Structure 1
Amino acid sequence: MDRTNTEEIKQRAVFNRLLSYLKRDQKRLILAFVLLIIATGTDLLGPILIKVFIDDHLTPRNFDHTIILLLALGYISIIVLSCILNYIQLVLFQTAAMNIIQSMRIDVFTKVHGLGLRFFDRTPVGSLVSKITNDTEAIKDFYVSVLSAFVQNIVYLAGIFIAMFYLNVKLGLFCLVLLPVIAFIMVLYRKFSSQSFLHMREKLSELNAKLNESLQGMSIVQVFNQQKRLKKEFADVNREHNEAWMKNIKYNGLLLRPAVDLVYVLAIMIVLSFFGIKSFSSPVEIGVIYAFVNYMDRFFEPVNMLMMRLSMFQQAIIAGGRMFELLDENDKAPGAEGGRHPVITEGAIEFKNVTFSYDGKHPVLKNISFHARPGETVALVGHTGSGKSSITNLLMRFYELGQGEITIDSVPLSFYDNHELRSKMGLVLQDSFLFAGTISHNISLFNTNITRERVKEAAAFVQASEFIEKLPEGYDQEIGERGSTFSTGQRQLITFARTMAFEPKILILDEATANIDTQTEDAIQHALQKMRAGRTTIAIAHRLSTIQDADQILVLHKGEIVERGTHQQLIQMKGLYYKMYALQQKDKLSEEVG
């Protein structure tokens, strides 16, 4: 099967899948369709009434005032009725379309939140944003502008054919011959435009990805004078996107309105020639000519509208294919297995011969085994890339375990559902993340079970209340995007308070004090000691001075635990930990060893 046929099958499948969403609002759509048929019927009666007036009254000069008045009232009535019915059916179609696209966006948004971090590792954020916004907007046009127009105009064309056959069977058959010609133009347009639309959508995703990267790293861009390089990269992608658009414009200019207009002119010439030749042998009614030419105009009006909507249709099909790829993504976040519903009570953690790889080829963890008892603090140290964060990622079940086993309270990690697992774990990262909203909302995360008093207690516990209460709005102070109006230390204190508000059994600290100044760190260390009390804590540390009181320190190198013990034991061993500590504590090391 060649590439063209394969692409055609894919597009047909996307079209059928888009149509399946209509079932969600089928009652409204059925009512709209019935009203559309009635509105089309009334609209098409107009030329027939005028034909009767011309042939039966105007030409023979038979001016029966009563009949003429009835014809006039009938013509006005069907126009008014057609307007009312068309308005109602249009509102019904559009309402159904908007309901469908609204639910579709929720489906996509929900799907993204259910995907595993492995998916986000390989997918640019800008590309995802493009699918959720630009692609769903194109699909919205399919339901709002394209589908309703197709249904309306196809029904209208069917009514026109019925009227044409009523007036003249031969000319009605002639107009039927026009349909394959118009269908051929549509197929030709879709064949050439589909690839350019796909290319255009891909380049739009790349534009969003470039834009997202530049905005998020604006400080680095400016510090290292990367504006010229990024401008060139953005301009290259933008040029390719523009070229795809221009290619599409050429197809539109050739195969849409101009091609149909040419067919229309030829059709009018043939129809008028037919009546002209017929007039040599028999009389021709002027009303019939008027009605037929009027119907020919009306025939090509919906055809032109369909052709103009074909561009939107093709964009929607390509966008729908990209969106359904996302909806069909199988890389879901790991979930519970075994049908059990265990509860974390103590928080004892054990890794048993755990081996893990992100790509399935190169292991980042090799035979990791350790035990963290309830209330103990286990610190993970090592150079960048040694596997520290991978251990916490597996413990939080952001990724599926490769080999080995992880247990909490002697129960395999895979048996816990994500809600239980995440609700009993507190995570503080090096890069604090704050949501749009107030400080209070960022600490409680809009959880109604966490009262205002609990929010204040958590803030006071980590000594964040000191700066919060000095703000103009206090806990109701609005936070800018990602907390940009606060210092790094203040943002971190808020995330500390958030963690404590949920009272976790297990605490995970991923270099939580790395971005905090020395003065703030002293206060934080005191808070951390209280936070760790009675909780199992896994702490990733860059500053080794912050984990000297850990019950156990694991030293990782290239994915393996090469040393383990307390701070004093590791110093005495004079191994890798000793060298790392020596770099940070040059002057104090000799005193401590002595």
Structure 2
Amino acid sequence: MRVLGLLLKEIKHVKWLFLGSVTVYLLASGLIRFAPLILQRLIDGPLTAISKGALFEQAVFLQELGYYLLMVGVGAIGFYVSMRLLMYCANGIAENLRNRTYDVMQRLPISYFDDKPAGKIATRIVNDTETLRNQFYGTLVYAFNNTVRLAYTFGILFYMNTSLGLVILLLIPLCIGVQYAYKKMTDKPMKDYYDARSDVNTQVNETMNGASLIQLFGQEERVLADFEATADKMRQADNKIVWAQSIATWNLTGFLQNLVITGILTIVGYQFLKGQSELTSGRLFVYISYIEGVFIAIGALIQQFPNLLRSLETGKRVIELLEEETETDSPEDLQVTDGQVIFDRVSFAYEEGKTILKDISIQADKGETVALVGHTGSGKSSIMNLLYRFYDPQKGRVLIDGKNIRDYSRESLRSHMGIVLQDPYLFTGTIASNVAMNDQEMDRELVLASLEKVGAGPMLARLEQGIDEPVVEKGAAFSSGERQLIAFARTLYSNPKILILDEATSHIDTETEEIIQHAMEVVKEGRTTFIIAHRLSTIQTADQILVLDQGRIIERGRHEDLIEQGGVYAHMHQIQQKI
């Protein structure tokens, strides 16, 4: 019930339009529901008089017929308008949910994504919000329609014949019991179904991203078998839901409707033959019309109830994402002039009790280049994660220009950083839009200059559209070296105070590496630069080289000094020289 309540509260985002739609609907529905009473007067008046040999009262007939047509016509127009507006409300609520879930996803801490497959998160933002639009809010509109219809019709029936109203009212608990049984039968299958659907999306996403590796290692059959197993779980859960739905939505209401109408006609016919019936033809017509209306509304609600229940499990998943704790951030912007970076006795752990960095102290002054080397898992990337503020240290401080970065907003901090990662990501668009990161006021000359500085001139020369060359599928049409050049140009274009190269040359051939090394010597001037590298040839000119092992700095100094010491760095260099 909590999920239902929270989903209903979402209506507040379109409350004025919703209230207006409901008001129009109530008026329109009232006109349509009361219209049969006009027909009763028409049947029991002018039409009955004709059957008894009286003169046809044309004026009365036309007047009553006009009232009926007016009520039905105005009611139909109002019903159409109100239903369109209510569906518009449903679309607006779903759009608001989708935007908010996407916004929450953007503000979640990086740690949230450590163990969450991208496919499952995408399912919540795209599929689940769309399911809510169709199965919850869309169905809710029609459920509201039938509930109002039922309330109006019951009210009129009770007014006309209390006994008949009570008899029909007693049938409702039977329908409620059927729906309760349906809920008990489908609670677990619904959860299993949506979990399996998320797993399917995740597997499809991973298969698409790893298609080349799957084929190279001949894993097609295994991947297909895993997919079929997950899809089979989804099918089995859906079959259980369909089985329960077939029980809950069989033509129970139709059977009860025919039973009640047969009973009424039998009683009226018997009384008529005995000469005891005082029921007029018009009233009999109205009884049957309203009884059919009651059962049509009940039947529709029974059909719609399963969709509402199915959507609650979806709603639960969306609400869980909305309620995830997002990163708290300072409203104050960080102003950087020199770009001095200090790690002051920093210790950090991703998980409690498993310390990754231990008592790290680093000072990088303006214009200096600091290189971090060490075996995989030594803590190099973790140091950069703290500098980006993807995470915050448990002990110590990270300072930029003497200011603790925890006291400032992450966005302002990162705006002063240029980052080139090991595997550069290119967005769909053009080379220019990737370099300028879709800057609305793009400086095309600066884009071109940035590309030429990093040695991308030959690449642009062979492209027909130059910097306007399309980029699709993460830049798959470009080589890894060309993608890296575009990423370097992106960093140059932003003109950062602090430059971070995270294994930036690991996927680049020797010739391209020489081009980038030359360009970077120019770019690094006046900027504080951090380089994470396994290839020691790329860091020999660094002002400081920090050697890490198991989260500690075990050696520091310039390349020549570390070689003379004959320690870990010298051993690493010797091995690479042999290779």
- Give 1:134-153 correspondences, 5 Å limit: 134-142=127-135, 144-153=137-146
Q: Does 1:327 align with 2:322?
A: yes
Q: Which residue does 2:463 correspond to in 1?
A: 471
Please say which of residues 92-101 and 540-549 is displaced more in the overlay.
Answer: 92-101
Is there any run of 5+ residues in structure 1 with no aligned partner, and where?
1-11, 588-594
Q: Which residue does 2:397 correspond to in 1?
A: 405
Q: Does 1:291 align with 2:286?
A: yes
Asked if the contact 1:429/1:510 (under 8 Å) is kept, the reply is yes
Cα–Cα, structure 1 residues 270 and 576, in superposed 2: closer, same or farther, change >3 Å? Answer: farther
Q: Which residue does 1:248 correspond to in 2?
A: 241
Structure 2 counterpart of 1:316, from 305, 311, 320: 311
Asked if the contact 2:501/2:532 (under 8 Å) is kept, the reply is yes
1:345: how far off? 1.2
Q: Which residue does 1:232 correspond to in 2?
A: 225
Q: Which residue does 1:448 correspond to in 2?
A: 440
Q: Distance in 1 between matches of 2:244 and 2:263?
A: 28
Amino acid at match of 1:43: I
Aligned CA RMSD, in angstroms, stands at 1.8
Structure 1 counterpart of 2:14, from 2, 12, 25: 25
Asked if the contact 1:139/1:319 (under 8 Å) is kept, the reply is yes
1:269: how far off? 4.2
Asked if the contact 2:397/2:404 (under 8 Å) is kept, the reply is yes
Deviation digits for residues 226-271 of structure 1 (CA, Å, limit 9, x no counterpart): 1111111111111110011110101110012334334434433444
- Give 1:536-575 correspondences, 5 Å limit: 536-575=528-567
Q: Which residue does 1:592 correspond to in 2?
A: none
Q: Distance in 1 between matches of 2:253 and 2:376?
A: 65
1:162: how far off? 2.1
Give SS of 1:433's match.
Answer: coil
Q: Which residue does 1:303 correspond to in 2?
A: 298
Structure 2 counterpart of 1:51, from 40, 44, 49: 40
Q: Distance in 2 between matches of 1:218 and 1:15?
A: 41
Q: Which residue does 2:113 correspond to in 1?
A: 120
Please say which of residues 188-197 and 365-374 is displaced more in the overlay.
Answer: 188-197
1:340: how far off? 5.1
1:290: how far off? 2.1
Cα–Cα, structure 1 residues 267 and 368, in superposed 2: closer, same or farther, change >3 Å? Answer: farther
1:341: how far off? 4.2
Amino acid at match of 2:547: V
Amino acid at match of 2:329: G
Q: What's the % identity of the aligned pairs?
A: 35
1:364: how far off? 1.8
Q: Distance in 1 between matches of 2:494 and 2:431?
A: 15
1:135: how far off? 0.6
Q: Does 1:368 align with 2:360?
A: yes
Amino acid at match of 1:76: L
Q: TM-score, normalised by structure 2?
A: 0.95
Amino acid at match of 1:113: Q
Q: Does 1:165 align with 2:158?
A: yes
1:442: how far off? 0.6
Amino acid at match of 2:28: A
Q: Does 1:495 align with 2:494?
A: no
Amino acid at match of 1:134: N
Q: Which residue does 1:385 correspond to in 2?
A: 377
Give SS of 2:339's match.
Answer: coil
Asked if the contact 1:333/1:399 (under 8 Å) is kept, the reply is no
Cα–Cα, structure 1 residues 568 and 278, in superposed 2: closer, same or farther, change >3 Å? Answer: farther
Please say which of residues 90-99 and 215-224 is displaced more in the overlay.
Answer: 90-99
- Give 1:143-292 correspondences, 5 Å limit: 144-276=137-269, 278-279=271-272, 280=274, 281-292=276-287
1:309: how far off? 1.6
Amino acid at match of 2:289: N
1:144: how far off? 4.5
Give SS of 2:506's match.
Answer: coil
Give SS of 1:300's match.
Answer: helix
Q: Distance in 2 between matches of 1:115 and 1:468?
A: 38
Amino acid at match of 1:261: G
Q: Distance in 2 between matches of 1:210 and 1:142?
A: 25
Q: TM-score, normalised by structure 1?
A: 0.93
Asked if the contact 1:428/1:496 (under 8 Å) is kept, the reply is yes
Q: How many residues align?
A: 573
Please say which of residues 199-208 and 13-22 is displaced more in the overlay.
Answer: 13-22
Structure 2 counterpart of 1:76, from 48, 69, 88: 69
